[in-house]
Amino acid sequence: MIKGITYLAQVWSWLAVAITWGAVFLLLAFLGLRGLDTLNLALLFGKTPPWQAITGALPVWHGIWPACAGTVALVLLSSLPEKIF
């Protein structure tokens, strides 16, 4: 009897895992297919020329480049050892 309950619990657990991964995959596939045409340089830099935005010569107002650059800077600075400061 206990082996049967254990088996059912394992089957139920694997089914829950499969349903969860399936839902995540379907959501990512939907977002990927619907948003594929928006992945371009305008998403990062807006109307600013990319090289001038990367070097900081012109500000970026309608793109996510400042957020990406800030995130990279935060991660790099937080990974430095304490002895530097």
Is there a contact between 63 and 42 (Cβ–Cβ < 8 Å)? yes
Query: Are both 19 and 44 inside the same structural domain?
Result: no
Q: What is the mean pLDDT of residues 30-58?
A: 92
Query: Are both 33 and 44 inside the same structural domain?
Result: no
- Specify whether the backbone of 56 is left (phi greater than 0), alpha (psi in -120 to 50) or beta: left
Query: What's the token pair of residue 34?
Result: 């619907």
State yes or no: pLDDT of 3 exceeds 90: no
Range of the domain at 82: 40-85
Query: Are both 82 and 44 inside the same structural domain?
Result: yes
The residue among 29 and 4 whose pLDDT is bigger is 29
Per the listing, tokens 């309950």 go with: 5
Is there a contact between 59 and 48 (Cβ–Cβ < 8 Å)? yes
- Band (85; pLDDT cuts 50, 70, 90): low
Instruction: Output the pTM of the full model.
Output: 0.59
Query: Are both 25 and 65 inside the same structural domain?
Result: no
Angle 56-60-66 (CA atoms, 0-180°, nearest 5)?
Answer: 75
